[in-house]
Amino acid sequence: MTIKPLFLFSALLVSSAAFAHITLEQPSAPAGSYYKATFRVPHGCEGLSTTGITIEFPDAFHKVHPMPKTGWVLSTMPRKEIHEPASVSWKEGSLPNEWYDEFVVRGQLAKDAPELLSFTVLQQCGDVVEKWDQPMPADEHAAEPEYPALVLHVTAQPTEHHH
């Protein structure tokens, strides 16, 4: 009967390590669909409060609409060729290291989106900036990078049935 608590404890250790990174709430979505990208920020940088979040979008993510947040200044940086945001920033806010928050953007995935879409997130804590942009290694046994990019798995578009 003593196995259960040990198992639960080890499961907690594993899950708490997984929450150390900024993550996407929904890790997959079908090509061509509208996607609500919820970026979860579980902590600051090196114990400091988060004062800014910038998200850089992949080319296959269009019609971007960021959700404003009370207490933060929202701005967008347009793509050169089309009048759509290439990135969105929430600045001049304060998210203490001990607190958790989410930053939300809605957009549409291209019908021909690649299987893996990477979002780069810049997390600013005063003068410290952490750039979450490292690609995950192809070898699943390789060590995970310290600051992995946020990857969305794009699934096949639902097929329309013709009779």
Number of other residues whose CB lies within 10 A of the CB of residue 72? 19
Mean pLDDT value across residues 14-22: 55
In a domain, 126, yes or no: yes
Please spell the DSSP secondary structure of 8-53, one letter per residue: HHHHHHHHHHHTTS-EESS-EEETTSEEEEEEEE---BTTBPEEEE
In a domain, 3, yes or no: no
Of the pLDDT bands very low, low, confident and very high (cuts 50, 70, 90), residue 128 is very high
- Whole-model pTM: value is 0.82
In a domain, 1, yes or no: no
3-state secondary structure of 57: coil
Residue with tokens 């997390």: 123
pLDDT 10s digits, 41-95: 999 998 999 999 999 999 999 999 999 999 999 999 998 877 788 999 999 999 9
In a domain, 4, yes or no: no
In a domain, 2, yes or no: no
Which residues constitute the domain of residue 55? 20-138+145-155
Number of domains in the chain: 1
Q: What is the CATH number of the domain that holds 73?
A: 2.60.40.2230
pLDDT 10s digits, 30-45: 999 999 999 999 999 9
User: Is 143 or 92 the better-scoring residue by pLDDT?
Assistant: 92
